[in-house]
Amino acid sequence: MTQRILAFDSGIGGFGIVRALRGRLPGTPVDYLADTAIYPYGEQEDAALIARVVTLMGEAIASLAPDLVVIACNTASTLALGALRERYDIPFVGCVPPIKWAAELSRTRTVGLLATRATVRRPYLRALQQRYAPDCTLLAHGARGLADLAERAFRGHAAPPDIVQRELAALFEQPGGDRIDVVGIGCTHYTFLMDAFRAASPPGMIWLDPADAVARQAATVLQTLPPQPEALHRRDRAFFTTMPAEPARMTTAMAALGYSAPTLFAPATTTF
């Protein structure tokens, strides 16, 4: 049988989940769609973003015919996952900040979250804390510039230590921040900055990246789906709603994940 996954993000963040999917589901086709035309999602107005994601997903499902869609973006997941499930008869797996996981590991009962400003300000985050970590203090920092650093890091550029340290200081220097012993990332882009985060954080800090947990859930859902007839083989492709910066570097980075050069997503012609 051939079951195909579509991973979706506003930029390169979802490639971290693709990497985890490759490890858990070797041989499973995974297409990728990045909505780079309005990156970053964390800076968009909620209602307009929901409408765009729902429409774009409809075009992608019609063009690429996935059996499962992974919304590999925290902002899109927290805003649009419900609308997507209502609109389309296909399973969706989303991303949420790893608050439950952090609470399970924290000994000081003070956990940190590094995310986008949009994720930090939304009531959804506090609802997660109340449900999964009511006995913990949650300190969060919405870091606008880190997603841009992650985009560059994915393309092979070093992350400037001073910028990383400044963003982490905004988390750890909050009142009570000296008690943080676990930090989760609430933006999939930050996967590609984890080494820089660990280098700049206090000794012994535990950093949590939920990429593998998302891949594990996708694998679980995929196993529940009925077998599909064998289809003509086609190579996995990575699509962008506008072409990314530094295409040569992007192509090199994507090759490690099984993709060739970036492809512009044009729904009217992107069919197989």
Closest CA to 35 of 20, 13, 3: 13
| 233 annotated ligand binder | no
| 157 annotated ligand binder | no
Q: Which of 25, 33, 68, 73 is catalytic?
A: 73
Calculate Rg over the CA atoms of the chain. 18
Closest CA to 225 of 50, 89, 79: 89
For residue 131, give the H/E element and its range.
helix 123-132
d(CA 116, CA 190): 10
Closest CA to 112 of 211, 206, 190, 212: 206
CB 179 within 8 A of CB 218: no
d(CA 180, CA 53): 35
Residue 73 designated active-site: yes
Q: In Å, how far are 3, 225, 238 from 197, measured between CA atoms?
A: 36, 38, 27
| 108 annotated ligand binder | no
CB 142 within 8 A of CB 121: yes
| 23 annotated ligand binder | no
| 124 annotated ligand binder | no
d(CA 102, CA 133): 8
CB 144 within 8 A of CB 75: no
| 42 annotated ligand binder | yes
Give the angle 178-184-188 at the CA atoms, nearest 5°.
140
Q: Which of 187, 196, 206, 222 is catalytic?
A: 187
d(CA 253, CA 19): 12
Closest CA to 6 of 58, 70, 53: 70
User: Residue ranges for the binding site?
Assistant: 9-10, 41-42, 74-75, 188-189
User: Residue ranges for the binding site for substrate?
Assistant: 9-10, 41-42, 74-75, 188-189
Catalytic residues: 73, 187
